[in-house]
Amino acid sequence: MTAISIRGRARGRGARRMLSVLVGFTVLTGCSVPTDGLALPARQQAEEYQAARFVESLDGLRRYFVEATNIKGTVFTFASFEGKKAKSEVDTYVLGEPPALLTRSRSGHAGDNIDMYHPAGSDQDLLLLGTLYRSLAPTPWVSHRTHFPKDGFYVCTMTGVMVGCKMLDAMELTQKENPAGLLKKYTRHADGRVELLTGVTLKAFLEARVLVLPDVLKAKVTDEMLKQLIPVNIKFAADGSVDKFEMNGVVKGGPSPFEIQVGYDITGAATKADFPSLPPRSDVTVLDESGKKRFYDRLGDLKSQPI
**Beta strand pairing call for 242-251 and 84-95:** unpaired
Average pLDDT rounded to a whole number, residues 79-100: 93
Alpha-carbon distances of 297 from 24, 116, 129, 136, rounded to whole Å = 45, 17, 15, 10
- Total residues found in the chain within this entry: 307
Q: Give the number of C-alpha atoms closer than 13 A to the C-alpha of residue 55, restricted to the C-beta side.
A: 8
pLDDT of 272 above 90: yes
DSSP 239-250: TSBEEEEEEEEE
When pLDDT is averaged across residues 93-118 and rounded to a whole number, the result is 92
Q: Read off the pLDDT of each residue in 78-99 and give the average, rounded to a whole number.
A: 93
Contact call for residues 76 and 88 (beta carbons, < 8 A): yes
What is the pLDDT, as a whole number, of residue 242? 85
Buried b (16+ CB within 10 A) or exposed e, 90-108: bbbbbbeebbbbbbbbbbe
Q: Which residues pair with 258 in a beta bridge?
A: 251
What sign does the CA torsion over 92, 95, 97, 103 have? negative
> Which pLDDT value is given to residue 304?
75
- How far apart CA 96 and CA 108 sit, in angstroms, is 30
Band (306; pLDDT cuts 50, 70, 90): low
* Cβ 199 vs Cβ 174: under 8 Å: yes
Question: Which of the residue ranges 67-71, 180-184, 236-240 has the most confident prediction, judged by mean pLDDT?
Answer: 180-184
Please give the residue that has the higher pLDDT: either 115 or 69. Answer: 115
- Listed by start position, the domains of the chain span 25-69+158-266, 100-152+277-304
Angle between helices 43-67 and 161-177 (to 10 degrees): 150
- Coil, strand or helix at 154: coil
| Pair 173, 206: CB distance under 8 Å | no
Share of the chain above pLDDT 90, in %: 60
What pLDDT was estimated at residue 280? 97
Do 259 and 80 form a contact (C-beta atoms < 8 A)? yes
Among candidates 172, 203, 191, which has minimal Cα distance to 55?
172
Please write the tens of the pLDDT for every residue from 155-169.
888 888 899 999 999
Nearest to 114 by CA among 147, 136, 145: 136
Work out the pLDDT band at 227, boundaries 50, 70, 90: very high
Q: What percent of the chain has pLDDT over 70?
A: 86
Question: With 80 as the cut, is the pLDDT of residue 17 above it?
Answer: no
Interatomic CA distance for residues 202 and 227, integer angstroms:
6
